[in-house]
Amino acid sequence: MFWGRVWAGRKKGKSIMTVTKDHLNLGKGQDILPIQRIDYVEFYVGNARQAAHYYRTVFGFEIVAYKGLETGSRDTTSYVLRQNKITFVVTGALNPESPVAEHVKLHGDGVKDIAFLVDDVNKVYTEVTARGARSIQEPVDLQDRYGHVRKAVIGVYGDTTHTFIQRGDYIGPFLPGYQAFEGPASLSKVGLSSLDHMVANVGWNEMEPWVEFYRKVMGFSQLASFDDKDISTEYTALMSKVMQNGNGRVKLPINEPAPGTRKSQVEEYLDFYRGPGIQHLALTTGNILKTVEELRRRGVDFIRVPDTYYENLAERVGHIKEPLDEIRRLGLLVDRDDEGYLVQIFTRPQADRPTFFFEIIQRHHARSFGKGNFKALFEAIEADQALRGTL
């Protein structure tokens, strides 16, 4: 793993690159990598047409743009899906030689890229590569009749990438090469509004190097840390550190397995994804009761914690706005921190391999991640792992 080697090398005094504290602007309190927002998350999938239908029909997204044979794309097909501030792109291969086909063969369906909207791609690319980021694509102009967009790509854990996008005054439906999607009118929405956080699973002893990568290369800071005492059950454990960018709009928790007597969910992921990658995306809603009711009605399969979770819930979390019998009926989890409370729920894996899943979350001022729910949640995941023969 490239970064593991770099930082391991640095610790031993064999620095592969020269990075001075001055150059990093550390401690000067300035955002070295200003990110306006997450532009989109791209999935590589086995069948983009059906994946787009799934996200539209089940999760309430609208298909807004398309790229494929009809638009002159000979190797890949992509659908762009949007719901409020969330944009997903699902991309599939049109031939077995496509790198997308290779990616899907190795990993199954999964998140390939998290794209960030920035003001100046050249500046960002120069900055992060000078700090040691692995370049995948140098800054390049993409152009069509709607204008032009500048982009660059760097590699992070496994085959996952970050794209930097500079849109300028581009007025097309998504990016150059895409056309507006002409299809049936959208279905009613389910109320998902934004991306709250995106969690990566990395291998043994790889969390710290990646924390350092996001700190030193991307200018992120650490928001929270959970060790194996926080996140363990009788059988399995994991560790996690939450990194966030300068303006707090991008939150990236990074998990690694910790020793336990059985195989943890992170190890199960690494086995089936064949390496590190995105484990889950947390999507916010302003009304989790309505959203989850509707998602359940449309067939979304959620992890179910044991009924005992609800026995002392009122004492644990105090007064909450949502009726507790509704919380229990819908299988929602509640946790409180110093600033407020949150309500959350987790889907089962979204593809055949037990890898990627979604979290649905509503925050009532809480800024934490549901630490009080970890044990019950992970025991429920272990019950699913036991059924899969992977515990």
Which residues make up the interface to Fe ion (CB under 5 A)? Answer: 282, 359
Q: Measured from the CB atom, is 282 or 289 closer to Fe ion?
A: 282
Residue in this structure with the two tokens 């515990």, named with its chain if needed: 391
Question: 297: closest CA among 191, 163, 181?
Answer: 191
Query: Cβ 371 to Fe ion, closest distance in Å?
Result: 11
For Fe ion, give the closer residue by CB, 91 or 265.
Answer: 265
Q: Find, among 350, 358, 315, the residue nearest to 334 by Cα.
A: 315
* Residue 109 or 359 with smaller CB distance to Fe ion: 359
- Distance of alpha carbon 74 from alpha carbon 232, whole angstroms: 48
Whether 387 and 313 have beta carbons less than 8 Å apart is answered as no
Give bridge partners of residue 144 from the DSSP assignment: 147
Residue 281 sits at the vertex; the CA angle it makes with 363 and 174, to the nearest 5 degrees, is 105
Using DSSP's 3-state secondary structure scheme, residue 186 falls into: coil
Of 116, 112, 121, the residue nearest 141 (C-alpha): 121
Nearer to Fe ion, 113 or 359 (CB): 359
If the CB atoms of residues 39 and 359 are measured against Fe ion, the closer one turns out to be: 359
- Shortest gap between Cβ of 373 and Fe ion (angstroms)? 10
Cβ proximity to Fe ion: between 282 and 288 the closer is: 282
CB of 120 to Fe ion, least distance (A): 31
Q: What is the closest distance, in whole angstroms, from the C-beta atom of residue 196 to Fe ion in the complex?
A: 8
Closest CA to 193 of 288, 113, 103: 288
Task: Give least dist CB 27 to Fe ion, A.
Answer: 30
Query: In the bound complex, what is the minimum distance in angstroms from residue 351's beta carbon to Fe ion?
Result: 18
CA distance 169 to 146: 9
Cβ atoms of 44 and 112 closer than 8 Å: yes
